[in-house]
């Protein structure tokens, strides 16, 4: 078991380094085309930091580990909302653009409602997620990308200074990043499942906690650094973008590989995630408008701690 723990840690290290290299390379490539910070946060950075979830889920999907697939996506999104925004907001109150408050955050809520409807198959009655559901989510993802790039063009975002780094170096960073993510994803999934079986812990809890927290470390690092540099657009864009990517791209890709049954017990976690997104939206409209104040960030952290205690008690009980 000690060896499995060490291999999980090694996998997380590979995921973190891989994600950092991928984000650095992708961001440098994007800035060559003078893309705004918010657009980078919602797309390039969100994709880079969601890459660990993607790799872990694709590996888990090929192995038929449905609870890991769902637990990783739902757990990562909850970690993003409550822990990452909570810590970032405590370090420096996060101010967002009007488009984020009125469009991107509500859009993330709509995405969650769609997921709940598809997972519970309200129209059929048999809880499951099929390849058709994967196609629906992927189609919505393409629509999201179209929306973001259309907004970029419409708003004429201020251009960033072009990056002077050589193209071959940027490509090398991207390739090394992807390699680290693939290797790390294999290590995390294989050994997390071994640990779960040895401890008698369900795959659902492993996916919602250990795997989800580990694959969310790139988002945590990115958003904390962004908050310390007072770059709210990257901090909030990374979290909202990652949550949308996780559902519409990561989960969709997993379903295209292998359809999965839906465990109705995940509905509680989905409701908590949706409530967290609604809380964030309300926070943008109260107090200092379009800002996540420190007390609101602290409340997010407290709510997540209570949620984690609830998960553990439910598992033990």
Q: Which of 60, 31, 61 is nearest to 44 (CA)?
A: 31
Q: Which of 76, 107, 51, 39 is nearest to 253 (CA)?
A: 51
Task: Extract the runs of DSSP E, i.e. beta strands, from the chain.
Answer: 94-95, 128-129, 260-261, 291-292
Q: Which of 117, 115, 77, 128 is nearest to 272 (CA)?
A: 77
Task: Extract the runs of DSSP E, i.e. beta strands, from 245-305.
Answer: 260-261, 291-292
Q: Which of 195, 177, 166, 136 is nearest to 54 (CA)?
A: 177
pLDDT tens per residue, range 138-172? 999 999 988 887 776 655 445 555 556 778 888 88
d(CA 153, CA 214): 35
Tell me if residue 261 falls in helix, strand or coil: strand
What is the average pLDDT across 120-126? 72
2-316 classified as CATH 1.20.1420.30: yes
d(CA 71, CA 60): 11
Q: Which of 210, 207, 222 is nearest to 265 (CA)?
A: 207
Q: CB of 63 within 8 A of CB of 258?
A: no
What is the average pLDDT across 50-73? 88
| Least confident span in 63-72, 210-219, 299-308 | 210-219
d(CA 104, CA 155): 15
If phi > 0 it is left, if psi is from -120 to 50 it is alpha, else beta; for residue 120 that is alpha
Q: pTM to 2 decimals?
A: 0.81
pLDDT tens per residue, range 21-48? 877 777 777 677 666 667 777 777 787 7
d(CA 38, CA 148): 10
pLDDT tens per residue, range 267-303? 999 999 999 999 988 888 776 667 888 899 999 999 9
Q: CB of 274 within 8 A of CB of 301?
A: no
> What percent of the chain is predicted at pLDDT more than 70?
89
What is the average pLDDT across 238-263? 92
Cα-trace Rg, the chain: 19
Q: CB of 94 within 8 A of CB of 299?
A: no
Quick one: how far is CA 166 from the chain centroid?
30
């Amino acid at each position: 078991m000690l060896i499995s723990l060490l291999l999980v840690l090694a996998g997380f290290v590979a995921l973190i380094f891989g994600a950092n290299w991928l984000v650095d390379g992708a961001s440098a490539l994007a800035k060559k085309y003078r893309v705004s910070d918010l657009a980078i946060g919602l797309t390039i950075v969100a994709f880079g930091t969601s890459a660990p979830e993607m790799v872990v889920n694709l590996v888990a999907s090929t192995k038929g580990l449905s609870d890991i697939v769902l637990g990783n996506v739902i757990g990562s999104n909850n970690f993003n909302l409550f822990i990452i925004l909570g810590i970032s907001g405590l370090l420096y109150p996060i101010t967002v653009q009007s488009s984020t408050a009125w469009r991107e955050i509500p859009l993330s809520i709509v995405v969650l409602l769609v997921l709940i409807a598809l997972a519970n198959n309200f129209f059929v009655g048999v809880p499951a997620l099929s390849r058709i559901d994967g196609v629906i989510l992927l189609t919505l993802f393409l629509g999201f990308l179209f929306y973001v790039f259309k907004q970029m063009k419409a708003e004429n975002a201020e251009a960033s200074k072009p990056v002077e780094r050589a193209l071959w170096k940027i490509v090398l960073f991207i390739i090394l990043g992807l390699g680290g993510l693939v290797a790390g994803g294999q290590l995390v999934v294989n050994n997390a499942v071994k640990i779960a079986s040895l401890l008698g812990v369900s795959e659902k809890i492993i996916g919602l906690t250990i795997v989800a927290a580990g694959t969310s470390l790139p988002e945590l690092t990115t958003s904390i650094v962004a908050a310390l540099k007072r770059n709210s657009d990257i901090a909030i864009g990374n979290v909202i973008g990652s949550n949308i990517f996780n559902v519409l791209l990561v989960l969709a890709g997993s379903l295209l590989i292998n359809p999965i049954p839906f465990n109705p017990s995940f509905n509680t976690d989905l409701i908590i995630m949706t409530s967290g997104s609604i809380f964030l939206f309300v926070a943008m409209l109260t107090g200092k408008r379009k800002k996540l104040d420190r007390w609101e960030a602290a409340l997010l952290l407290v709510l997540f701690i209570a949620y984690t205690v609830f998960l553990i008690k439910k598992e033990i009980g």
